[in-house]
Amino acid sequence: MRTLYAPIYEPGDPAHATALRYKRGLYNALAARGPVHDFDYLANDPATLYDGFAIRINDFQPDLVLTQLHAADLLSPDEVRALKALRPGATWVNWSGDSWAHSLTAPGILALARAFDLWLVAAPDALPVYTREGIRAAYWQIAYEEPVANLPDTPRYDVVWLANVINDRRRTLMERLKRMDGVAVGIFGDWERSDGRCVYDFPMQRALYRNATLAIADNVYQDTQHYISDRPMQTLASGGAMLLHQRVPNMREISYGWEPGEHYVEWQDADHLEPLIRDWLRPERQAERAAIVARGQSHALKHHSFDRRVEQLVDELLPALEGVRS
């Protein structure tokens, strides 16, 4: 299988350079199935993006074109159809790991999605909209990244939280956690009082999770009932900190089987989280923590690798398109 892969490497340094270096999981999983051409489409001049795709399609002759378009302003539906005509046998698939409604169900996105053979999302709340619009779509969860470099030395924390400040509720919770007496809390993100930043630095993320006792993840989009980020998968795959994840109503379905108390511990709100942290930091709970961490890591390694995602794509989702492709 020859894949033209156009991932979303966010622009702007240092995030762009870090992503280019460390965001390799999906690329490597695709490469295990055949040759892959990696096209950093956001680094291309938007005025010549169509030409950039056309040159690569003509030269590389892909069987699969896998894009990560989160907006409808770079390629039009007619341009996608024209590009598809350059290589009629290729299957066109887009995957959005986002959860924002404007990047999933806005009119421009829906028009673009109709031009693709398959539209994949990590937030399945959008799927009923695609069904009503006659768009072939499916749920495709994100996965953890395996570090491609040695792990750095990082501090040891009782609690780590890798998160950016995207709303006041999260900022307030960060401030509250930092004020906890007798608890070493490390927060890494774009908060002005953070202990550092490690966006796309998966070796650093792995080291922080391995060296911590507990790791926090929240349900930041509380109006989105079917979405979790990659952070809990990174936590579980690391096999160090026990995951404390805020309640997500349909967690079992979107995580392929995570159970609170079995693979992670669930919290409700800030008032619930602080005493929960203190309870699980007690030495008497060390053995119980270790058992939850071991079960969580085993589940993540089995169900949340990019090798497993590509297996789902190639062996389950793409065959289902046979006979119904546009």
What is the biggest distance separating any 2 CA atoms in the chain, rounded to whole angstroms? Answer: 64
Q: Which fold has domain 3-143+306-321?
A: Rossmann fold (3.40.50)
Quick one: which of 48, 57, 47 has its CA closest to 6? Answer: 57
For domain 159-303, is the CATH number 3.40.50.300?
A: no
Same fold, 3-143+306-321 and 159-303: yes
| CB of 224 closer than 8 Å to CB of 127 | no
Q: Where are the chain's structural domains?
A: 3-143+306-321, 159-303
Q: Which of 51, 39, 46, 53 is nearest to 6 (CA)?
A: 39
**Whole-model pTM?**
0.93
Residue 190, pLDDT > 50, answer yes
Q: pLDDT digits over 265-302, tens only? A: 999 999 999 999 999 999 999 999 999 999 999 999 99
Instruction: Quick: pLDDT tens for 105-150.
Output: 999 999 999 999 999 999 988 999 999 999 999 999 999 999 999 9
Instruction: Show the tokens assigned to 22.
Output: 């460390």
pLDDT band at 222 (very low <50, low <70, confident <90, very high): low
Q: Is 321 exposed, middle or buried (0-12, 13-18, 19+ CB in 10 A)?
A: middle
pLDDT, tens digit (0-9, with 9 covering 90-100), for 25-75: 999 999 999 999 999 999 999 999 999 999 999 999 999 999 999 999 999
